[in-house]
Amino acid sequence: MERHVESCYLDIKSNSRSHHTDLYGEECLIVRRGQPFNIILHLKPGNGDRLLTFTCISVSKGPLPQEESDTKVSFGIRESTLDTEWSASATNDPSRNTISVTINSSPNAPIGLYSLTLDQEGQNISLGQFILLFNAWCPRDAVYMRSETKRQEYVLARHGQIYRGTYKRINGTPWNFGQFDKGVLDICLMILDSNPKFVSDASKDSSSRRSPIYVTRVLSAMVGVSVGPLWAPVSGMCGQRLLRYTRKPSEGSFIFYCWESAVVMTCGSPPVARALGIPCRVVTNFESAHDADASLMIENVYDQDGKRISQGDSVWNFHVWVESWMTRPDLDSDFDGWQVSDPTPQETSEGVFCCGPAPVLAIHEGELTKKYDAPFIFAEVNADVVDMVRLPNGQLVKFGGSTKSVGRFISTKAVGSDDRRDITHQYKYPEGSKEERQVYKKAKHHNKLRQREEEPGLRLKIKLAKNMTEGSDFEVFAVLTNNGMEAKTCMFLFFATAVGYNGRAGEHCGYASDKVEVPSGEACSSRRLSLKLEYEHYGSVIPSDRLIQLSAITFNKQAVEYYKAEKTIVLDEPEIEIKLLGEAQVNQALTVELTLLNPLPEALQDCSFTMDGVGLTDGKPITRKYANSITTEAKASIEFSPSSVGSTMLLVNFNSDKLKRIKSFINVVIKE
């Protein structure tokens, strides 16, 4: 008689180590597709000599497993496993009490939660469950990445940098992605199961999850659009906490900043890409265009007083998206590699708010017929800007613009370090080069090279102060130079406006005007209009990004001449001094001293330091709040015990009623 299975040992620890999934913990077997894993079958005691011969093993996933959709697969025991499909082999233990079974999943299998069963004499015996992920280590997988260093960076790295500010003042923000935190992978799978395609056809959606293209597109729609009317009340230090807000829709949903959505999709929540096994990275595009009418041009229309009256196109100081690594079997193989997806979709795509994935190479070469949403992404990095004034009779007069201002210092974190890497060259040829213009034409951009017109007689520039720290008063200048042959008399306006990172204007915080006569260029003369920015006026209106937009306008209504210059400045923020008192050792108490000097001419209320770090704070942030106001200096001493050996990052955040989101970090090496 044949002996039956009494229990199944999934050997989570050993399998996790070989599949690079040990950081998820040992509560569930998590493996990567296209790679074998081992289980051990314990047999019931008996006298039989036949050991599970002609056994059939089945794997199934989703609410309606079907062989037609590859969500249910049955396979027999072979002498050895196959690399190309689901297969299994078995070895009898000499004791004849256990059987070791090796299972190899298909490198093209849909990802997700699977049930594993054994068919013995017509009886289905449950062996347990496991989660199958994409596999960047498997050459047959669509997300295969050849470099181990890059796999460590783009799949397994738990820390990263997100770049913000302006292209002239780029600030790196450290981030704990948290993709391996407890419960996070479950949330990722829940997000996939919540998408409308799964609701309408669960079997088809589950089957389609074999493709990272499909999964990435679903994530773009779900992460970026399944939101409500409120801003997420989070510190931005740890991506996994952002994701957890999606678990309780009854308590309200949240709108993330674009960089927060990108982190969530990349891995900050981790799930949404790295946690599912897709290599990805966060990318920041400075001076990022939002082309609302698909013309591949940003058209700025102003009235005669310099006020913008168009509401469609815009240019954001920066915008953050995600690049995911995969093959594109739906396109030519030349377009394999990094693909752009935007988890903050701004326009609909095939009737749904999502964006991408589009090959970076397609953007670089102007191949806008390649899926998905290449025209919109192309405009983000390479649109032309046209400035026009609307006259009382409705006529539009072009008075400025640029073919070079959009898409600056496209940035991502470097592999293996905290340095910023400029990848602008991967998105476009050098601005102004012959190749860049040719690509622009091929992309059917509604652009003509600058029309051969006379050079304007006036030139307008904005010059900044050297030190622009939040809390201080400082001057900026608009400089008007006449390069023509005749003197010009015109109105000169200079004003400052608080602005959000997405280009949305807030309240004015400074204004100056004058009527000036500018001699001709032969006199080498210019006129300066100064604008003093005082904390008393800007302090209460600038957002937490500390951005101020400066706009200078000069016009001669009789001659219909208009000139404009704009510059966005980011105010310097105070630094947090982080000092470790002693050497970091595992399970040993360690004290950190935190210090921040108050740069403002007024006291700070509701002050707090919050610190967080993988392997440092036991998975929970530590906060120290102040009961009293802070006039000159905020200090805190915090004791904690590191819980794991290795390199990590200690992130510190300071908040108050007037200074918010002040961040810093130090790298920490924890020794045994």
- Contact yes or no for 455/487 (Cβ under 8 A): no
* DSSP states of 443-494: TT-S-------PPPSEEEEEE--S--BTT--EEEEEEEEE-SSS-EEEEEEE
Which listed residue (291, 342, 545, 612) is catalytic? Answer: 342
384 labeled binding residue: yes
Q: How far is CA 104 from the centre of its chain?
A: 33
Tell the residue number behind the tokens 């913008």, with chain if given.
308
Q: Say what the alpha-carbon torsion angle 488, 491, 492, 497 is, to the nearest 10 degrees.
A: -150
Which listed residue (319, 364, 445, 607) is catalytic? Answer: 319
**Measured distance CA(239)–CA(184) in Å, rounded:** 10
319 is catalytic: yes
Strand 87-92 versus strand 72-78 pairing type: parallel
258 is catalytic: yes
**Measured distance CA(7)–CA(211) in Å, rounded:** 34
Helix, strand or coil for residue 625?
strand
Tokens of 383: 């649109």
Quote the radius of gyration of the chain (alpha carbons, Å): 30
Which listed residue (138, 238, 258, 607) is catalytic? Answer: 258
Say how many C-beta atoms besides its own lie within 10 A of residue 444's C-beta: 14
Identify which of 89, 180, 84 has the alpha carbon closest to the alpha carbon of residue 138. 84
8 is catalytic: no
Q: Which residues contact 382 (CB under 8 A, 6 or more apart)?
A: 363, 406, 407, 427, 428, 436, 439, 440, 443, 445
201 labeled binding residue: no
422 labeled binding residue: no
Q: How far apart are the first and last CA of the chain?
A: 54
Tell the residue number behind the tokens 């610190």, with chain if given.
611
205 labeled binding residue: no
Angle (CA) 264 269 275, round 5°: 105
Catalytic residues: 258, 319, 342
**Positions at the binding site:** 382, 384, 431, 436
**Positions at the binding site for Ca(2+):** 382, 384, 431, 436
